[in-house]
Chain A
Amino acid sequence: MYMVWCMNDAAGKLVIRFDRGTLVLEGMTRDAAAATLAGGYWTWDARAGVLRCDALHYDDAVRALHDAVPSPAGAAAPWPEVIWPRVQLPPLREDQAAALDAWMRTRRGVVVMPTGTGKTEVALRIMHALSVPTLVVAPVRDLMYQWHQRIADRLGYDAGIIGDNIFNKRPVSVTTYDSACIHMQEFGGEFALLVFDECHHLPGPVRADAARMSIAPWRLGLTATPERSDGRETVLDELIGPVVHRYTLAAARGRVLAEYDVVRIPVYLAPGEQAQYNECSFLIRHHMAERRKAAPGFTAIDLHKESGASPESRKVIQALRIKQSIEDRAREKLRVLEDLFRLHHGTRTLVFTGTNVMAREVSVRFLVPCLLHHCRKKERKDILDGLRQGVYPAIVANQVLDEGVDIPEAKVAVVLGGLASVKQAKQRLGRILRKTGAERAILYEVVCAETREAMRSRQRRRSDAYEGTRHIRL
């Protein structure tokens, strides 16, 4: 536990200490505190006989104490200055500069920009402008490494890494949400600026501790999609700050992002696959009908509840999984993919799959690299550099590329199944829509005809990212 703020008033010494993600106020009795501190965030902790609050309130708390205590002597220790060894920041575009200005006015808040419009550049500018100890929090380790690389490229700084079984803390460090919410209670007193990349990941009862347990007065959130299906995005106001700048995908299209087409290709199951699929469907329908006789309104949820006591329902659940797996891995998809590879021979192509298993299957079939969660820093770099330099004609990935991973611009993307959330559609499009010249990008969606996958595809197209796009059938 260490001191983060200290001052002497007439009565003695007031000290704020950082204690495992919380702040502890010493030197003020409970009664004195009640009289001077109106702020609602301090709580009396009888276990230790101190006032305690979330570290998040540090800035407010210090200001309130300065106001409340007459003629204080002393102040918070200034943040150490970070020296950037080699700064190579490119000039910002107009919209990026607007985002920067908007944030700098309050130094706390969320910047909403679509993937591919240079959020990272804005963040690096802010880091450079403040030059204080900074922690960048990314959703997955791929992005963490990418931040590490970008900070090295643009600011010449070898940032510390906290995550992926590495614990190397430096004044400027990169980490993941999972690591941050575990470790913030240890080092939450050390960073002045927090950058939350893809900050819609932050709300959540324990994850939010990554923001709550830090004293950082300055906070930047970056996201393309602040809205969450559980509506918790309002929590971001408290944890980071309000949205200070919003740049929508519709405004970006055609200007920063390329025009694009969406082409949907239905595939049919092979006879063998279809037979197994039907068999599973029959088993499921039969079981559900039987159960509904005894219990009207029987649902899939009830099925899962029963599975503990009935090998029969376990078989039905397995049948559901087999169906999903057949959809995901339909052989016909690989054949269509072959056709698309031929059609766009010589054009950089990205392939997205619904599962890791399918990604590996594509990789083994075509011997194109697959970028998955298990890929370490070195392999990841080889794959992305290789794609950029044209060594690899195509790569395949599962969700890794969903968010923010900086991949070389591509004009062709193929989606082989996937989930139906709005967020995923936006982010996947963001991947291929890098503006280079006037060329239009194409997104192929390969889905099994007349299956649940086709339903998901319809839902996906409802997202505004797809609005006004052309639909062609091959």
Chain B
Amino acid sequence: MLTKELAIFDFNGLRIVPDRLVRKRHARYLEYAAGMCDAYGTGIGMTRRELHLAVHRIFDAEADCPPARIDAFCKLLDEERVARYQTDRAGKAAALRQKVCRLAAPCHPLVDERTVLFEHAEKETKEEIARQLGRASWEEVERELFADVFEFNRLLSFEGYDSPEALLARYNVAQVQAALFNATRLTVHAGTDFRRIVTHAKLARLLHTITLAQRGGRRNVYTIVLDGPASVLRETRRYGASMAKFLPALVSCTDWRMRAELMIGRIRRPFFLEISSADGLHSPMPPQEEFDTSVEEHFARKWGGRRRKGWLMRREGGILEHGQTVMVPDFVFHHKDGRMAWLEIVGFWTPEYLQAKVEKLKLFNEEPIIVAVAEGVARGFHYASDNVMFYKKALRLDAVQDALERVARKSVAGHATGS
């Protein structure tokens, strides 16, 4: 991702328009992109600073190019998944500096021209130190002296982008991400890819509120509002980075539109940014982020990706609908023999919340849903059903397996099961 400083966007009233390179207006950029990839491809062994200079030079004559755009390209070319730089984990450069400075210390100060009092001239002393270190010349020593400094890191390999277009596509998504660093809330209207979108929002650890916005024959539209725990206390950009991280996943889905509320600087005005799947942004599907430590994530990690006693667990759960009420259980399980069941985890909340949850579960009481309830709230959870199981701190795998055998049913054709 880019950093905040590299974000470029325009204002159109209250609308934020992130910088975007388009075929028509920026035809020359395809050439530049090829040139940049080439500079890196042929620049193995060069320092980061030299490579960045080379990139800057490509744009020398270009009229339409804010400096931040060039810096943003450098940042994208340096990204870990495409470029690998030499690192100095062992601290070789630091050790060399220490040796050099210790050898030079008795000769301090190194003077331009020797005098009676100060007899250590810079040039001779340096050559002498190089000799003592067993090097051919001082230049050789100096070249390695700061090899561990970020801008002097040398490029080891460059995987590059599949095509110049791919780099430009990455740039366009990266600029939307950079604008989203300022986001306080996202509202996504999702159609066919609703499940994947919710799953990725969960993985980005954003809080989500879902409503069924519009019922269609073959396609329902859901409204998903995404923010974080502290969002209810104040407008905060704290979750902007998570929202930016979530964007590539959203972009790789279809049939959605999104509106972000943004806070720019300390200006108290409701800025916003809108994009949709029709905007032609492209991104490869990002790998699933590492799980956090909540009960759900802990359980998901423990269960893993393989079949346990025939049961396969997936996080992209199904959608259950009843009127305007939508429920997205945390997990869905499928057995080899065609049976399936859902798992919903109920954490520690208020009586009101639990009551709402119970009401919701009653609507879906025909469904094979296992409800895992934290023991601490069992008292407030009045839902008589064989499908309820209790847990203390973490869900036990064998307990869930037993419940699955008890609750699961053959999946009904035409049912949204997420498979």
Q: Which residues of B contact A217 (CB under 8 A)?
A: none
Q: How far is the CB of B326 from chain A (nearest CB, A)?
A: 14
Residues A205 and B236 in contact in the complex (CB < 8 Å), given A307-B66, A308-B65: yes
User: Is A70 located at the chain interface by the 8 A CB criterion?
Assistant: no
Interface string of B336-355 (1 = CB under 8 A from A): 00000000000111111100
CB–CB A22/B64 < 8 A: no
Of B94, B149, B207, which one neighbours A47 at CB under 8 angstroms? Answer: B207
Most chain-A Cβ atoms within 10 A of its Cβ — which of B97, B145, B229? B229
Interface string of A353-384 (1 = CB under 8 A from B): 00000001001111111001011101100100
Q: CA of A310 to CA of B145 in the docked complex: distance in angstroms?
A: 38
User: Is B228 located at the chain interface by the 8 A CB criterion?
Assistant: yes
CB–CB B237/A205 < 8 A: yes
Q: How far is the CB of B397 from chain A (nearest CB, A)?
A: 22
Q: Which residues of A contact B135 (CB under 8 A)?
A: none
User: Is A345 located at the chain interface by the 8 A CB criterion?
Assistant: yes
CB–CB A26/B350 < 8 A: yes
Looking at chain A, what size class is its interface with the partner chain?
Answer: 35 or more
Closest to A182 in B: B241
Q: Which residues of B contact A310 (CB under 8 A)?
A: 63
Q: CA of A392 to CA of B97 in the docked complex: distance in angstroms?
A: 12
CB–CB A314/B67 < 8 A: yes
CB–CB B63/A50 < 8 A: no
User: Is B102 located at the chain interface by the 8 A CB criterion?
Assistant: yes
Q: Which residues of A contact B350 (CB under 8 A)?
A: 25-29, 49-51
CB–CB B145/A1 < 8 A: no
Residues A392 and B352 in contact in the complex (CB < 8 Å), given A47-B207, A311-B60, A368-B108: no
CB–CB A307/B67 < 8 A: yes
CB–CB A206/B238 < 8 A: yes
User: Is A301 located at the chain interface by the 8 A CB criterion?
Assistant: no
CB–CB A367/B100 < 8 A: yes
- The interface stretch among A107-115, A195-203, A249-257, A335-343 is A335-343
Q: CA of A12 to CA of B148 in the docked complex: distance in angstroms?
A: 60
Q: Which residues of B contact A37 (CB under 8 A)?
A: none
CB–CB A27/B105 < 8 A: no
Counting residue pairs across A and B whose Cβ atoms lie within 8 Å, the total is 156
Residues A52 and B232 in contact in the complex (CB < 8 Å), given A366-B109, A379-B94, A391-B105: yes
Interface string of B88-125 (1 = CB under 8 A from A): 00010010011011111101111110000110001001
- The interface stretch among A13-21, A442-450, A457-465 is A13-21
Closest to A357 in B: B151
Q: CA of A50 to CA of B97 in the docked complex: distance in angstroms?
A: 58
Interface string of B361-374 (1 = CB under 8 A from A): 00000000000000
Q: Which residues of B contact A342 (CB under 8 A)?
A: 109, 111, 117-118
CB–CB B66/A308 < 8 A: yes
Q: Which residues of B contact A386 (CB under 8 A)?
A: 101-102
Of B65, B112, B232, which one neighbours A335 at CB under 8 angstroms? Answer: B112
Interface string of B223-242 (1 = CB under 8 A from A): 00000111011001110000
Interface string of B199-241 (1 = CB under 8 A from A): 0000000010100000000000000000011101100111000
Residues A1 and B102 in contact in the complex (CB < 8 Å), given A21-B230, A50-B353, A367-B126: no
Of A1, A45, A51, which one neighbours B347 at CB under 8 angstroms? Answer: A1
User: Is B379 located at the chain interface by the 8 A CB criterion?
Assistant: yes
CB–CB A206/B108 < 8 A: no
Q: CA of A115 to CA of B209 in the docked complex: distance in angstroms?
A: 50
User: Is A30 located at the chain interface by the 8 A CB criterion?
Assistant: yes
User: Is B144 located at the chain interface by the 8 A CB criterion?
Assistant: no
CB–CB B229/A26 < 8 A: no
Q: Which residues of B contact A185 (CB under 8 A)?
A: 229
User: Is A288 located at the chain interface by the 8 A CB criterion?
Assistant: no
Interface string of B63-79 (1 = CB under 8 A from A): 11111010000000000
Interface string of A199-225 (1 = CB under 8 A from B): 000000110010011000000000000
CB–CB A19/B352 < 8 A: no
CB–CB B69/A308 < 8 A: yes
User: Is B319 located at the chain interface by the 8 A CB criterion?
Assistant: no
User: Is A317 located at the chain interface by the 8 A CB criterion?
Assistant: yes
CB–CB B233/A374 < 8 A: no
Q: How far is the CB of B137 from chain A (nearest CB, A)?
A: 14
Q: Which residues of A contact B29 (CB under 8 A)?
A: none
Of A48, A365, A378, which one neighbours B349 at CB under 8 angstroms? Answer: A48
Residues A392 and B237 in contact in the complex (CB < 8 Å), given A28-B350, A308-B66: no
Q: How far is the CB of B58 from chain A (nearest CB, A)?
A: 12
Q: CA of A225 to CA of B371 in the docked complex: distance in angstroms?
A: 56
Q: Which residues of A contact B107 (CB under 8 A)?
A: 367
With contacts A29-B351, A345-B118 known, what are 17 further pairs, Cβ within 8 A? A26-B349, A27-B351, A49-B356, A52-B229, A53-B233, A185-B229, A308-B64, A311-B62, A338-B111, A342-B109, A345-B108, A364-B145, A366-B109, A367-B100, A367-B107, A368-B101, A368-B108
CB-based closest 3 A-B pairs: A308-B66, A49-B353, A367-B104
A-B contact pairs, 17 of them (CB 8 A): A29-B351, A206-B237, A206-B238, A212-B230, A308-B66, A342-B118, A345-B108, A366-B104, A368-B101, A368-B108, A372-B149, A375-B94, A376-B91, A379-B97, A391-B105, A392-B102, A393-B105
